[in-house]
Amino acid sequence: MIPKIRSVRPIETAPGGINLLVIKIETTEDGLYGLGCATFSYRSATIKHLVETYIEPLLIGREVDRISDIWQLMHQNAYWRSGPIENNAISGVDMALWDIKGKMANMPLYQLLGGKLRDGIPVYQHADGDDVDELIEHIEQYREVGLRYVRCQNGIYGGTPYGTVPQECAKGVQAGTYINSNDYMRNTVKMFEKLRDHFGDEIELLHDVHERISPIQARSFCHELDPFRLFFLEDVVSPEHVSWLREIHNYCTTPLSHGELYVNSNDWHDAVVNRGVDYIRCHISDIGGITPALRAAAFADSFGIRTCWHCPPDLSPVSASAIINIDLALPNFGLQEWSGIETYQFLQQSGDHDVDAAMHEVFSNIPEYGNDGYVYGNELPGLGVDIDEKEAAKYPCDHPVTLWTQTRNSDGSLQTP
């Protein structure tokens, strides 16, 4: 007899100082449960309410093996569809059901997807610095632990710290993170000149624009970066301007990645069909979990486009494990962003506790970086990651107003973050 869903419980925790939301599905079979990630750090309380109030009553008593049917049911049950809040709630359930299916089969997720196409997952991590010299120091630290792909930034995506108002801004402007796009573009070109002079072609360099320039600026900016042979340039425009990608792609030779903010297949459909991107970078909980991620990857593969899923600190190790399992089995895998515990290697403290230790207290069997350029899965059934709810409760979530997304231009107008 197929086990049925007995409960759907959200678990909040913030061992790294970032709100994480894990969904635990308990079944009618003793000891059989699954975990999924529903983390949208800036709206986690709303997702928790959605799961408790609407999702759990909808799913109790349903057979756990009908993953695609349950996904579609959750997607259409509210009538209006898509959006990061609904999708993250769906993702938490979807991942948990895949976790359960893997446990029932006694196989890791990648085996259910056809088995391994690769043995390790090549990853990149983020290096930053207040100036290029500090950035070079951080890149050198990554090289010492085997990393061959590094995303390079100078400062916070071309802006100032929150609340800092540069002199050139209009009088009376509101508090925010202020951006001077022209300065950012000039400084970034200079940054890559110095990085290539220092490193040559020994490492692959990447960069994230974070949609903080206009489409017109993006076209010339990508062209200016061509001589520095970037592995890719990320999110040069916002999802609202995805139709510009083909124009930009035709104007430069720098590979483009896009999709951190996608929440609907319509967001990436045209970019893929028109071959305006080289890598799709969906945040898999924001598109609804493992089920839609597999569909997106298969669709992109038909057009020769590879994956590089978004994997920031504001997702749980449960989601990170799902991503690694998917990567192991995808024919069109490209590269993987990795922001596991190692993200904090230059900043190991969060308040009064050690982040690395806290994460391992709350979560067990986390996929680990192998100090050789690759991340490896844990070979346990399902997603393999488990959570200690008592430890998780030691790190409660806060719900303050989000500051870093309050980005503005020098005249005071809002700019997408």
Helix (H) or strand (E) holding 26: strand 20-27
Q: Express each pLDDT in 33-51 by its tens digit.
A: 999 999 999 999 999 999 9
**Looking at residue 352, what is its pLDDT?**
60
* Whether 295 contacts 269, CB under 8 Å: no
Q: Which of 33, 124, 149, 157 is catalytic?
A: 157
CATH code reported for the domain at 111-379+400-409: 3.20.20.120
DSSP state of 25: E
Length of the chain, in residues: 417
State residue 276 phi and psi, 5-degree precision. -90, -5
Domains 5-108 and 111-379+400-409 share a fold: no
How far is residue 43 CA from its own chain's centroid?
Answer: 16
Burial state string for 319-349 with b = 16 or more CB within 10 A and e = fewer than 16: bbbbbbbbbbbbebbbbbbbbbbbbbeeeee
CA distance 268 to 195: 32
**Looking at residue 214, what is its pLDDT?**
93
CA distance 20 to 40: 7
**Looking at residue 349, what is its pLDDT?**
41
CA angle in degrees (0–180, nearest 5) for 338-339-344:
135
Centre a 10 Å sphere on the Cβ of residue 146 and count the other Cβ atoms it contains. Answer: 12
CA distance 255 to 235: 11
**Looking at residue 343, what is its pLDDT?**
44
Report the DSSP pairing between strands 149-152 and 204-208.
Answer: parallel
> Whole-prediction pTM value?
0.95
**Looking at residue 268, what is its pLDDT?**
87
CA distance 284 to 292: 8
Count Cβ atoms within 10 A of the Cβ of residue 20 and give its class: 0-12 exposed, 13-18 middle, 19 or more buried.
buried
CA distance 245 to 257: 10
Asked if 157 is an active-site residue, the reply is: yes
User: Tokens 């120091």 sit at which residue?
Assistant: 137
Helix then strand count (H, E) for the chain reads 15, 19
Topology classification of domain 5-108: Enolase-like; domain 1 (3.30.390)
Q: Express each pLDDT in 352-363 by its tens digit.
A: 678 889 999 999
**Looking at residue 351, what is its pLDDT?**
54
CA distance 232 to 251: 15
User: Tokens 């997408």 sit at which residue?
Assistant: 416
**Looking at residue 355, what is its pLDDT?**
87
Q: Which of 126, 138, 207, 210 is catalytic?
A: 210
Residue stretches of the chain with pLDDT short of 50: 341-350
Residue 352 forms beta bridges with which residues?
A: none
Helix (H) or strand (E) holding 8: strand 5-13
Domain regions of the chain by residue span: 5-108, 111-379+400-409
Helix pair angle (84-105, 317-329), 10° resolution: 70
Contacts of 88 (CB under 8 A, 6+ apart): 21, 38, 39, 40, 47, 285, 286
